[in-house]
């Protein structure tokens, strides 16, 4: 069974998980569970002999930074420390539980936690040690061993050990979400206090490494008599660079930099965590947040609405240079910022010709020019502007993957590059409308008295599930174009988040406007979004219900790739198939973030492509702040 089939089985059945095991200090040869009961050992004890520990790990390329590196290039190790950063958040938090199953966790929790490894911002698939100062993998790639940094400490001074790591994984995997996310971990072995082994049920792949980056390490001695999933407003013991120094539930939370943080001088952290204080203020409404920014009550705001980015901050402070508008790299987030998903579980959307006709009805250029001031870019790929995007004709490596399925793919895929048509004038649009009508006729739909109808007398109607009234700005112009094809379209607003989620899970929609963002490289999300076995899983992200054996094959090739050329070929081939099948209608591509900030801060000169250190690598500039504070700005 392939790894993706394993995942599908877990998604469908949520089967029980093997016991997370650790070696008892009293007997290194015996595995015990959390309660101290012996368990049957499935594999021999891991020996450290012969293992080569390295300072980092990369799957698709060599590490950029050598073992003796002093700091990451995109951080300034000489950055000054001090000052306060105030950020807005829409998170109406009510708990500090590290793995809360109920309630909403506080914003900024990452500032108080540490992870075993941390991802490099200027490399595609590299990770360097954080709590772990050494990483080793066995020859068969089925076991990863982490060596814990000898200086790693909890805030109470207790050393971080392998017992904490094993406890953290066990606690997470006792919850449904943890079972899914850490499904590839077969068992965890405490070799000694500083060494912990993760035994995997498949060879190490990038998604597993990424999950280690997100694994929150919790102190076993603090949580052994507490439930880390139970709601609490008591900030727990942590080991990270900041600790909670104040909060008001649902209003604000304040993090204070710990001057005694154990990891302040390790290479991955030099130049990071420069603010003495980071404060999150809760704002539930974007208009209120913008006004708070203009008044200087918050320092930074990511503006996602092109209207406000265009002119919403044209105030005297901008002309004086006190406010700055910048474009920031999106980091690991790539893909489609907004697009239309067509529910392919509906009979009429199973016909590729209908899906293509609906795609041709989109006049992206008019919408972008008229509604968004030309700021957006059309997504001509599922991961545009990356090395994985399908461009030009299929490469030789792609054809090796695609040719065996030639009879299951549109012939045009092998004949010309894919690109959505660009409408420059009315003649272009009339040509596309004519082609769309032709496709609909081929599919058995004809306009009768202005209404698109089939031979059974069914009227072609589409109901768009919507979450926010603002979606009308994008959908209503599209509805007018659909009306020219005889298609009746209407919005079906969800009454709230609960109805929105429940209808998605019941597949109770014809179409919806959604974000299709994905992490780079996208291998960690491919199964959940596009694989056949996720098409019937209510909690999956496969909103279109895509179920195609060629897509499944290409996903499996991408996920199992052990070299960068293999992953590139599989992802490009997959991109072509998804595009030419018209399962979804990509609109706006993920682009550089549009950010406004008060000019009180310094930033590194170099911004990495994949994961900028924001706001971790910024700092408070006292000289810049002195020119602003006192002129109507309080800080």
Sign of CA dihedral 359, 364, 370, 376: positive
85: its two tokens: 């950063």
* DSSP symbols for 87-105: EEE-----B--TT-SSS-B
CATH 3.10.105.10 fits 333-589, yes or no: yes
Cβ atoms 275, 619 nearer than 8 A: yes
Condensed to tens digits (0 to 9), the pLDDT of residues 112-129 reads 999 999 999 999 999 999
Largest CA distance in the chain: 84
Q: Which of 585, 582, 559, 578 is nearest to 570 (CA)?
A: 559
Q: Where are the domains of the chain?
A: 3-65+112-221, 333-589
Identical fold, 3-65+112-221 and 333-589: no
pLDDT confidence of residue 565: 94
Cβ atoms 488, 451 nearer than 8 A: yes
Condensed to tens digits (0 to 9), the pLDDT of residues 421-445 reads 998 888 998 999 999 999 999 999 9
Condensed to tens digits (0 to 9), the pLDDT of residues 530-587 reads 999 899 988 889 999 999 999 999 999 998 888 899 999 999 999 999 999 999 999 9
CATH class for the domain made up of 3-65+112-221: alpha beta
Condensed to tens digits (0 to 9), the pLDDT of residues 233-277 reads 999 999 999 999 999 998 999 999 999 999 999 999 999 999 999
Peptide bond into 521 cis (omega under 30): yes
Report the pLDDT averaged over residues 382-398.
95
Condensed to tens digits (0 to 9), the pLDDT of residues 266-314 reads 999 999 999 999 999 999 889 999 999 999 999 999 998 899 999 999 9
Q: How far apart are CA 388 and CA 367, in angstroms?
A: 27
Condensed to tens digits (0 to 9), the pLDDT of residues 55-65 reads 999 988 999 99
Residue 481 phi, psi (nearest 5): -70, -40
Binned at pLDDT 50, 70 and 90, residue 366 comes out as: very high
Q: How many CA atoms lie within 13 A of 594 on its CB side?
A: 15
Neighbours of 304 (CB within 10 A): 12
Q: How far apart are CA 281 and CA 151, in angstroms?
A: 34
Q: Of 88-102, 332-346, 619-633, where does mean pLDDT reach its minimum?
A: 619-633
Q: How far apart are CA 359 and CA 580, in angstroms?
A: 11
């Amino acid at each position: 069974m392939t790894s993706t089939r394993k995942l599908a089985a877990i998604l469908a059945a949520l089967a029980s998980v093997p016991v997370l095991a650790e070696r008892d200090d009293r007997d290194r040869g015996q595995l015990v569970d959390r309660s101290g009961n012996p368990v049957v050992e499935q594999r021999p004890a891991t020996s450290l002999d012969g293992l080569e520990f390295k300072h980092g790990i990369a799957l698709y390329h060599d590490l950029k930074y050598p073992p003796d590196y002093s700091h990451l290039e995109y951080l300034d190790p000489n950055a000054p420390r001090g000052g306060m950063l105030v950020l807005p958040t829409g998170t109406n938090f009510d708990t500090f539980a590290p793995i809360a199953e109920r309630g909403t966790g506080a914003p900024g929790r990452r500032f108080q936690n540490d992870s075993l490894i941390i991802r490099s911002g200027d490399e595609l698939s590299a990770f360097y040690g954080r709590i772990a100062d050494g990483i080793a993998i066995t020859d068969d790639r089925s076991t990863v061993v982490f060596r814990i940094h000898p200086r790693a400490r909890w805030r109470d001074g207790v050393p971080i050990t392998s017992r904490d790591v094993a406890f953290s994984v066990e606690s997470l995997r006792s919850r449904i979400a943890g079972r899914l996310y850490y499904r590839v971990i077969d068992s965890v072995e405490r070799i000694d206090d500083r060494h912990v082994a993760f035994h995997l049920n498949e060879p190490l792949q990038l998604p597993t490494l990424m999950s280690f980056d997100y694994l929150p390490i919790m102190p076993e001695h603090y949580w052994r008599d507490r439930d880390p999933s139970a709601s609490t407003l008591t900030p727990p013991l942590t080991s990270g660079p900041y600790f909670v120094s104040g909060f008001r539930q649902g209003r604000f939370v304040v993090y204070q930099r710990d001057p005694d943080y154990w990891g302040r001088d390790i290479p991955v952290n030099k130049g990071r965590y420069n603010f003495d204080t980071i404060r999150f203020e809760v704002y539930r409404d974007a208009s209120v947040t913008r006004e708070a920014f203009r008044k200087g009550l918050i320092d930074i705001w990511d503006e996602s609405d092109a209207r406000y980015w265009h002119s919403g901050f044209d105030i005297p402070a901008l002309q004086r240079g006190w406010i700055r508008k910048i474009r920031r790299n999106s980091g690991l987030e790539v893909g489609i910022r907004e697009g239309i998903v067509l529910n392919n579980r509906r009979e009429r959307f199973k016909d590729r010709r209908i899906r293509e006709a609906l795609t041709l009805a989109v006049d992206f250029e008019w919408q972008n020019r008229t509604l968004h001031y030309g700021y957006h870019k059309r997504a001509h790929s599922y991961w545009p502007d990356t090395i994985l995007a399908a461009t030009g004709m299929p490469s030789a490596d792609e054809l090796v993957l695609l040719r065996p399925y030639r009879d299951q793919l549109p012939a045009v895929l092998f004949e010309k590059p894919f690109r959505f048509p660009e409408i420059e004038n009315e003649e272009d649009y009339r040509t596309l409308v004519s082609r769309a009508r032709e496709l609909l006729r081929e599919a058995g739909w004809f306009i009768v008295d202005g209404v698109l109808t089939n031979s059974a007398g069914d009227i072609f109607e589409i109901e768009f599930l919507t979450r926010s009234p603002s979606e009308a700005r994008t959908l209503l112009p599209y509805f007018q174009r659909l009306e020219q094809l005889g298609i009746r379209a209407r919005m079906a607003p969800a009454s709230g988040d609960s109805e929105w989620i429940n209808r998605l899970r019941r597949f109770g929609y014809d179409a919806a406007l959604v974000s299709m963002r994905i992490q780079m490289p996208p291998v960690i999300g491919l199964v959940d979004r596009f694989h056949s076995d996720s098409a019937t899983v209510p909690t999956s992200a496969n909103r279109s219900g895509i179920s195609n054996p060629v897509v499944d094959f290409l996903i499996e090739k991408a996920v199992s790739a052990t070299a960068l050329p293999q992953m590139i070929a599989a992802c490009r081939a997959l991109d072509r198939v998804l595009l030419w099948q018209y399962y979804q209608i990509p609109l706006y591509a993920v682009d550089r973030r549009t950010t406004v900030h008060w000019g009180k801060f310094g930033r590194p000169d170099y911004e990495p492509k994949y994961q900028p250190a924001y706001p971790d690598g910024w700092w408070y500039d006292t000289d810049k702040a002195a020119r602003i504070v006192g002129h109507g700005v309080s800080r």
